[in-house]
């Protein structure tokens, strides 16, 4: 059984308490590794190591920082298969998905920010030749990065890469539910020669380790991705300390499908945006609004295709839907299906867990589920479920569907399907969300602003936005 260790001051170390937690393989429902049950003492040690390293790392040339990060990216690629397999075992996602999305995108994150820093420039403002302002951007020092379980290494690297590239030292906490690839990543950092203390990875529970990051006065900024409830806790604790915060939170994203769409493309992509990664991507579209003239045709084709999805062994290349990440999360998803029934919804397909045979008998599986007949305002349509469960509803006008789309507390992402370019632009401008995909989904250009509005988050990451977050500007005004 693998025993995961913390990565502090350049070394793999046991938690100060000496205690470990169980780490489950969700495909078989069994413990397969141990994870440090770290606490405040480990965060203090990590923060001290980062503090000791910060001046040297900030002074290290951008090119040198970039070179080290590129070496880490190379090592991710070299260990692609091992990392993909580890991600699939830890999370329950199909190996095929981990192999084609999670791990390649993790190395892309490292490469992107390692090279972006070489092209980043700060502003200057000329005042009619009499004065000139220029803006220095200095690293903050020691920052915290806290990431979730749904895209473990992908989102972990998305947070730490811009922090490191812009000259900060990091205390990072991956999700306790999926710690394995962050642990393997710490070994790659050692192999790549990342100086000690620059990145520290502390494993354990959110209420202990995450909370200690929020509380630690030496950690000056926090980049967090996770649930809205956790975001609220972090914000309420960090605000009186005036910590900089970037919060990437939950969503309840609408898919708006007009009758004049490219039907086959809309259907094919809706399958992915509904059920990829068992519906556990913050950008998945969980409310599907279809214009009435094609409603029945779309609904029937969508149900038929969903019936064909294979749920099962994440290792099998034919599996489309792997295991739900944990038993608790499976129970949460099932409870929402019960709620939908109570609210008057009709289950068109799915609606239940799946019991597999043999070694997978204790695993956590839920059949992809489509629910019809619910009001846009019911709880099922307002609250984030974060599983392979979507609702489908007809609409008649643009105004009506906009009202539905914007009716939740969330505002992360949306898709719009139409061949009418003016209508697409009109809708994109009126939907309250940080990202709108027109006739596509999950296409990512890492230069663009990424994040949500309303309860989906505060601030934007991506491209130079992330460098602006991880640096403090000083404006210098000079008399000429
Ligand atoms: P979560 O909020 O439970 O946990 C996220 C991280 O926060 C974990 O590392 C956890 O240990 C830590 N944490 C928990 N309690 C904490 C506390 N009190 N203080 C500090 N840290 C704490 O979220 P999750 O269940 O891991 O992830 C699913 C959620 O993440 C969903 O809501 C999903 O929409 C959201 N998400 C958002 C984005 C985005 O980019 N907006 C991306 C992926 C996931």
Best residue among 36, 146, 148 to mutate for probing ligand 1's pocket (most ligand atoms within 8 Å of CB) is 148
When pLDDT is averaged across residues 47-71 and rounded to a whole number, the result is: 98
Q: Residue 465: pLDDT band by 50, 70, 90 thresholds?
A: very high
Residue spans per domain, the chain: 2-249+456-479, 253-446
- Cβ contact 341:347 at 8 Å: yes
pLDDT at 178: 98
d(Cα 456, Cα 282) in Å, to the nearest integer? 10
DSSP 427-467: HHHHS-SSEEEES-SS---TTS-B--EETTEES-BSHHHHH
Residue whose CA is at the smallest distance from ligand 1 atom 9: 175
Write the DSSP symbol of residue 412. Answer: S
pLDDT at 444: 96
pLDDT at 442: 97
Residue whose CA is at the smallest distance from ligand 1 atom 20: 210
SS3 of residue 15 by DSSP: coil
Task: State both tokens at 208.
Answer: 């202990």
Number of C-alpha atoms within 13 angstroms, CB side, residue 385? 34
pLDDT at 137: 97
Q: Residue 264: pLDDT band by 50, 70, 90 thresholds?
A: very high
pLDDT at 157: 98
Residue whose CA is at the smallest distance from ligand 1 atom 8: 175
d(Cα 118, Cα 6) in Å, to the nearest integer? 31
For the stretch 49-60, pLDDT in tens is 999 999 999 999
d(Cα 388, Cα 319) in Å, to the nearest integer? 14
Q: Please indicate whether residue 248 is annotated as part of the active site.
A: yes
Beta-strand runs (E) in 110-252 = 124-127, 131-139, 142-146, 169-173, 199-201, 221-225, 244-248
Q: Residue 72: pLDDT band by 50, 70, 90 thresholds?
A: very high
Of 457, 455, 480, 454, nearest to 469 by C-alpha is 457
Q: Which atom of ligand 1 is nearest to the CA of 233?
A: 18
pLDDT at 253: 98
For the stretch 96-142, pLDDT in tens is 999 999 999 999 999 999 999 999 999 999 999 999 999 999 999 99
Q: Which atom of ligand 1 is nearest to the CA of 231?
A: 2
Q: What percent of the chain has pLDDT over 70?
A: 100
When pLDDT is averaged across residues 370-390 and rounded to a whole number, the result is: 98
pLDDT at 388: 98
For the stretch 175-210, pLDDT in tens is 999 999 999 999 999 999 999 999 999 999 999 999
Q: Residue 78: pLDDT band by 50, 70, 90 thresholds?
A: very high
Distance 119 CA to ligand 1 centre (A): 31
Best residue among 144, 230, 333, 457 to mutate for probing ligand 1's pocket (most ligand atoms within 8 Å of CB) is 230
Residue 27's Cβ-count burial label (10 Å; 0-12, 13-18, 19+) is buried
* Identified catalytic residue from 87, 176, 248, 461: 248
Distance 207 CA to ligand 1 centre (A): 11
Distances (CA, A) of 72 to 49, 165, 181, 187, 392: 20, 12, 13, 10, 43
CATH code assigned to 2-249+456-479:
3.40.605.10
Average pLDDT of the chain, as a whole number: 98
- Cβ contact 231:249 at 8 Å: yes
pTM: 0.98
SS3 of residue 6 by DSSP: strand
User: Helical H runs in 117-202?
Assistant: 152-165, 180-192
Q: Which atom of ligand 1 is nearest to the CA of 456?
A: 41
When pLDDT is averaged across residues 133-154 and rounded to a whole number, the result is: 98
Distance 91 CA to ligand 1 centre (A): 14
Compute φ and ψ for 64, nearest 5 degrees. -70, -40
Residue whose CA is at the smallest distance from ligand 1 atom 40: 248
Distance 255 CA to ligand 1 centre (A): 23
pLDDT at 466: 98
pLDDT at 252: 98
Write the DSSP symbol of residue 339. Answer: H
For the stretch 308-336, pLDDT in tens is 999 999 999 999 999 999 999 999 999 99
Q: Name residue 136's beta-bridge partners.
A: 474
d(Cα 154, Cα 88) in Å, to the nearest integer? 13
When pLDDT is averaged across residues 343-360 and rounded to a whole number, the result is: 97
Q: Which residues line ligand 1 (CB under 6 A)?
A: 146-150, 155, 173, 175-176, 206-207, 210-211, 214, 225-227, 230, 233-234, 248-251, 282, 384, 386, 412, 452, 457
- Residue 467 or residue 1, greater confidence: 467
pLDDT at 235: 98
d(Cα 14, Cα 20) in Å, to the nearest integer? 9
Write the DSSP symbol of residue 46. Answer: H
When pLDDT is averaged across residues 199-222 and rounded to a whole number, the result is: 98
Q: Is the ipTM of this complex over 0.85?
A: yes
User: Helical H runs in 117-179?
Assistant: 152-165
Task: State both tokens at 250.
Answer: 């939950």
Q: Look at the block and give the residue holding tokens 């205690």.
A: 19
- Cβ contact 197:46 at 8 Å: no
pLDDT at 60: 98
Distances (CA, A) of 356 to 23, 256, 318, 366: 21, 35, 15, 11
Q: Looking at domain 253-446, what is its CATH homologous superfamily? A: Aldehyde Dehydrogenase; Chain A, domain 2 (3.40.309.10)
CA dihedral of 306, 104, 286, 251, whole degrees rounded to 10: 170
Q: What percent of the chain has pLDDT over 90?
A: 100
Residue whose CA is at the smallest distance from ligand 1 atom 34: 250
Residue 317's Cβ-count burial label (10 Å; 0-12, 13-18, 19+) is exposed
Q: Name residue 12's beta-bridge partners.
A: 7
């Amino acid at each position: 059984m693998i025993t995961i260790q913390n990565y502090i001051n350049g070394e793999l170390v046991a938690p100060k308490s000496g205690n470990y937690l169980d780490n489950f393989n969700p495909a078989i429902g069994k413990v397969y590794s141990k994870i440090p049950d770290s606490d405040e003492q480990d965060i203090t040690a990590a923060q001290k190591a980062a503090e000791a390293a910060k001046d040297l790392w900030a002074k290290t040339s951008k090119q040198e920082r970039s070179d080290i990060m590129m070496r880490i990216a190379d090592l991710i690629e070299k260990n692609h298969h091992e990392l993909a397999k580890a991600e699939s075992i830890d999370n329950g996602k199909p190996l095929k998905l981990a192999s084609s999305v999670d791990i390649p995108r993790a190395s892309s994150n490292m490469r992107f920010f390692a090279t972006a820093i070489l092209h980043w420039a700060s502003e200057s403002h000329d005042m009619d030749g009499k004065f000139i302002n220029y803006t220095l951007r200095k690293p903050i020092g020691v920052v915290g990065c806290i990431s979730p379980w749904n895209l473990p290494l992908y989102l972990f690297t998305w947070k730490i890469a811009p922090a490191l590239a812009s000259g900060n030292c990091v205390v990072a906490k991956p999700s306790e539910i999926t710690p394995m690839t962050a642990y393997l990543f710490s070994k790659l950092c050692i192999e790549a020669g990342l100086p000690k203390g620059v990145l520290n990875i502390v494993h354990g529970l959110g209420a202990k380790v995450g909370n200690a990051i929020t509380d630690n006065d030496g950690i000056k900024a926090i980049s967090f991705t996770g649930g809205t409830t956790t975001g609220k806790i972090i914000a309420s604790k960090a605000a009186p300390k005036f910590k900089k915060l970037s919060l990437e939170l939950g969503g309840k994203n609408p898919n708006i499908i007009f009758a004049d769409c490219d039907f086959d493309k809309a259907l094919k992509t809706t399958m992915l945006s509904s059920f990829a990664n068992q519906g556990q991507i913050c950008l998945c579209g969980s409310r599907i609004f279809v214009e009435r003239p094609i409603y029945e045709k779309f609904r029937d084709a969508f149900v038929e295709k969903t019936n064909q999805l294979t749920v099962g062994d994440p290792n099998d290349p034919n599996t489309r839907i792997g295991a739900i990440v944990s038993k608790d999360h499976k129970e949460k998803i099932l409870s929402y299906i019960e709620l939908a029934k109570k609210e008057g919804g009709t289950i068109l397909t799915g609606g239940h867990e799946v019991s597999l045979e043999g070694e997978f008998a204790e695993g956590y599986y839920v059949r992809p589920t489509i629910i019809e007949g619910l009001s846009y305002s019911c709880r099922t349509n307002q609250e984030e479920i974060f599983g392979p469960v979507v609702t489908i509803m007809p609409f008649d006008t643009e105004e009506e569907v906009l009202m539905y789309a914007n009716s939740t507390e969330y505002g992360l992402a949306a898709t719009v399907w139409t061949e009418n370019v003016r209508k697409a632009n009109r809708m994109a401008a009126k939907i309250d969300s940080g990202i709108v995909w027109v006739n596509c989904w999950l296409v990512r250009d890492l230069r663009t602003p990424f994040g949500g509005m309303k309860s989906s988050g505060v601030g934007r990451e991506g491209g130079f936005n992330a460098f602006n977050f991880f640096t403090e500007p000083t404006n210098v005004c000079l008399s000429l």
